Amino acid sequence: MACRFVDASHFAQSPAGDRPVSGAELWQWRQNAQAAAIAAEVNPYEVDWLLQELAGLDALALRLGSFRNQAAIALKLSLAELDLLWQHRLRDRQPIQYLAGRTPWRDFSLRVSPAVLIPRPDTEEIIDVALALTAATDRTGHWVDLGTGSGAIALGLAQAFPQAPIHAVDYSTEALAIAQQNAVENHLGDRIQFYHGSWFEPLAALRGQLRGMVSNPPYIPRGLLPTLQPEVIRHEPQLALDGGEDGLDALRHLVETAPAYLQPGGIWLVELMAGQAIAVTHLLETTGRYTAIQSHQDLSGNERFVSARLCDRGSAD
């Protein structure tokens, strides 16, 4: 039976402040919720994540328990509804990010829903790789985030390259709506242009003009999808996960089509699954169109990113 997605907005019919609860009541609920989390092998820290979003409590107050003495705390939903929300986390394995409706990523607070892949801490590093690869001349040209999802990478690029026009593409109109909202809420709405479509297709006007392309495409081999955590395979969009039989379908496409859109010397940069770097490097080498091909490790020492530059002999159609 398919799981029903539930988030805080399902319950919030009235403004925050209309559903007060005493600090002592909320403290007791937190104690019970953390015990239930441990029993269900869920990180008890997630209880505080939810309370920061729905009760407006900060991490220090939660850690010290100082909120226990407050006479009233304004919840965005009733205590019973909060408990029902938490039960969906434990029973249905709905990701805490979807239940809270937000997730931190680099310096941003991003809206998320089941329409978008949850931005991971590992992906934060792709912005650092882009910074390490670029010279001053690279940072003023057009950059694109392909398969933008929540808009995380596009926002990261806009922040890292304040002089560069940033473009973001996604096939999902629901994802684009969330990405645009995230750009506005993080004060970057005027820096990023959004496009609906598949990969490079909406960017015909930018053929041969891109200084950089960044993407976190679907790269999970189809046969491995059933082995993913239930939080992932039950709730995150399969379109953002399924990389085809060997996990390389989208990566092949990006290797083949990017030369028509990148400037000579333009940067090609992707995230991939640990263990795929050798195969992707081979794909790039086989075309004869790329140079400076290299893999980059994440903070755990896994080869998580591959980059290259388009050769100076021009772009192909």
Distance of CA 102 to the CA centre of its chain: 11
Instruction: Report the 3 state secondary structure along 234-264.
Output: CCCCHHHCECCCCCCHHHHHHHHHHHHCEEE
3 pLDDT higher than 50: no
Angle at 119 between CA 115 and CA 125, to 5 degrees: 155
Q: Which residue has the higher pLDDT, 63 or 6?
A: 63
Angle at 44 between CA 40 and CA 45, to 5 degrees: 150
Question: What's the pTM?
Answer: 0.88
**DSSP reduced 3-state for 214:** strand
The CA distance from 256 to 118, in Å, is 27
Domains of the chain: 8-96 (no CATH), 103-310 (3.40.50.150)
Q: What is the mean pLDDT of residues 16-29?
A: 83
pLDDT in tens, 148-188: 999 999 999 999 999 999 999 999 999 999 999 999 999 99
Q: In which element (H, E) is residue 168 found?
A: strand 166-170
- The region that residue 179 occupies, defined by phi over 0 for left and psi between -120 and 50 for alpha, beta otherwise, is alpha
The CA distance from 60 to 225, in Å, is 38
The CA distance from 182 to 140, in Å, is 23
pLDDT of residue 186: 97
pLDDT of residue 313: 64
Instruction: Copy the structure tokens of residue 252.
Output: 């092949």
Residue 85, judged by CB atoms within 10 A of its CB (0-12, 13-18, 19+), counts as buried
pLDDT in tens, 197-240: 999 999 999 999 999 999 999 999 999 999 999 999 999 999 99
Give residue 305's identity as a one-letter amino acid code.
F
pLDDT in tens, 272-312: 999 999 999 999 999 999 999 999 999 889 999 999 999 98
Name residues whose C-beta falls within 8 Å of residue 283's C-beta, 6 or more positions apart in sequence. 248, 251, 252, 255
DSSP character at residue 171: S
pLDDT of residue 19: 80
Instruction: Copy the structure tokens of residue 139.
Output: 């940072």
pLDDT in tens, 236-255: 999 999 999 999 999 999 99
pLDDT in tens, 49-97: 899 988 989 999 999 999 999 999 999 888 999 999 999 999 999 999 9
Residue 8's CB is within 10 A of a number of other CB atoms, namely: 20
Q: In which element (H, E) is residue 131 found?
A: helix 121-133
pLDDT of residue 248: 97
57 phi, psi to nearest 5 deg: -85, 145
Residue that has been written with the tokens 């169109």 in this structure: 289
Residue 304, judged by CB atoms within 10 A of its CB (0-12, 13-18, 19+), counts as buried
pLDDT of residue 7: 53
pLDDT of residue 312: 84
Return the bridge partners of 145, or none. Answer: 168, 214
